[in-house]
A and B are shown apart, each in its own frame.
Chain A
Amino acid sequence: MRKLITNIIGALSLILFVIAIYMAFVYAPLEVTMGPVQKIFYFHVAFAWTSFIAFFVTFAASCVYLVTRTRFWDTVAASSVELGVAFACIILTTGPIWARPVWGAYWTWDPRLVTTLILLFIYSAYLMLRGAIDEETKRGRYSAVLGIIGFLDVPIVYFSVNWWSRTIHPDVIKPEGAALHPHMLQSLYVALFAVTLFYFFMLFRRIRLEELRDEVRELRKSILKES
């Protein structure tokens, strides 16, 4: 049953991706000042939004884990972090690709990108921590605490970086803030939907992979016990 749902989500995601690509490159009009490179923005924003969802899922799953101590929630939290980190890398590549032709530099210390970079550090550290703990329940507890702290830090990081950047470049107004042509808005929504479904598809697959790994470990142990 779960496999069926996962595959449906995956298929939907794929279809939507195709539609989103079409919409981004054909349906949505060419942006006046930036030209074709602006089209990366649809996916850049979609991944940014979805990475936020990913880290929120980690936060929620971490809280549930600390209460229930069920391995499943630990798996959800950790899988979501992996996806969040992957998405953060995508954001940090698409951002500079867009920034170079538009602003002349790959990295402009834009507060949103800086926050994403910090998130990348926080959640990479989460994965590093997991790698350093062998015992399952300890790993679950420690990761959960980190998952909670990390997520609660996100708004504060964003706010302080934002305020900081305003004192550096006082008049950076991002074009996304300005009104969007309705075709652009629609393309954005489709891209968002596509990436979100993609996230859930990957999340379910990753959870399943971890569950299988756990199963293998159990089997190995019971075989060793018999001999």
Chain B
Amino acid sequence: MTSYFGRVMHIGLKDLKVEIRSKERLYSMMVFSILVMVIFNFAFDPGAEYIREVAPGILWVALVFSATLGLNKTFASEKEQDCLQGLMLSPLDRSGIYFGKVLSNTFFSLIVAMLTLPFFAVFFNISLLQVFMPLTLVIVLATIGFIAVGTLFAAISVGVKRGEMILPILLFPIEVPVIIAAVKATSMILDGRMMVDYSMWLKILILFDIIFLMVSFVTFDYLVEE
């Protein structure tokens, strides 16, 4: 497993190990996600009819905010003892570092998303069992797109003062297509629509994923060079 992809996997696995030991990110991401949903419930009348209409939006706001929380930390572990330099000294294309991080970030965000779903179902009294598969598909596609750009921007923000504040300001406008597509697709899935109805949103997500994974692959180098 020493090829390019093998080493990308190892970087992802390394991040996983670090996270399992430190438990920094996952707990805070999880708590934050649930917290956002609870706060939104105070903003709206929980018994009202329209709650079902806004629920997908609330879910995605929660997931987006908690993913951003996780992204802030993604390069933090590399900054501490300048491990990033250690990685850059190895004979691996810089883009491999990017993909390794995308892998681990996507994994963390997916875990948080999956664990958030039961709370979502309970808070908003929505049954997710029949729609679990298509819903998971949307969550996976949207998360990949969000993390693809998010990881790139995390590399930007870690090297900048007030970076943690700048990350969401940089990231959210770019992610608008992902958010719109995710919310609309989720909403249509929960309404029991067929895939042919919401396939356009899936296509947008896939397009976004491909384009921005490719662009980030090319431009990541320019961010970590000195």
Contact = CB atoms under 8 A, between A and B. Distances in A.
Given A149-B149, A163-B204, A141 B222 contact: yes
B156 A146 contact: yes
B104 to A, nearest CB: 21
B20 interface: no
Interface stretch (A9-17, A75-83, A127-135, A179-187): A127-135
Contact of A160 (B163, B166, B177): B177
Contacts of B216: 149
Interface in A144-181: 144-146, 148-150, 152-153, 156-157, 159-161, 163-164, 167
B82 to A, nearest CB: 17
Contacts of B207: 156
Interface of A: 66, 118-119, 121-122, 125, 128-129, 132-133, 138, 141-142, 144-146, 148-150, 152-153, 156-157, 159-161, 163-164, 167
A145 B156 contact: yes
A129 B170 contact: yes
Contacts of A163: 200-201, 204
A123 to B, nearest CB: 9
Nearest to A167: B184
B166 A132 contact: yes
B160 A121 contact: no
B223 interface: yes
Contacts of B177: 153, 156-157, 159-160
B35 interface: no
Contacts of B215: 148-149, 152
Given A132-B161, A141-B223, A149 B180 contact: no
Please provide the 5 A-B residue pairs with the shortest distance between their CB atoms, ordered closest to farther: A121-B173, A160-B177, A122-B173, A145-B219, A125-B170
Nearest to B200: A163
The binding surface of chain B is classed by DSSP as: helix
A36 B169 CA distance: 38
Contacts of A146: 156, 170
Contacts of B54: none
Given A142-B160, A144-B222, A160 B149 contact: no
Nearest to A119: B173
Given A142-B223, A145-B223, 20 more contacts: A125-B173, A128-B169, A128-B170, A129-B156, A132-B161, A132-B166, A141-B223, A146-B156, A146-B170, A149-B152, A152-B215, A153-B174, A156-B177, A156-B204, A156-B207, A156-B211, A159-B177, A163-B200, A163-B204, A164-B180
Contacts of A156: 177, 204, 207-208, 211
Contacts of B180: 160-161, 164
18 contacts: A121-B169, A128-B170, A129-B160, A132-B160, A132-B162, A132-B166, A138-B159, A141-B222, A141-B223, A141-B225, A142-B156, A145-B222, A148-B219, A149-B212, A152-B211, A157-B177, A160-B180, A163-B204
Contacts of A121: 169, 172-173
B121 interface: no
Contact of A164 (B149, B160, B184): B184
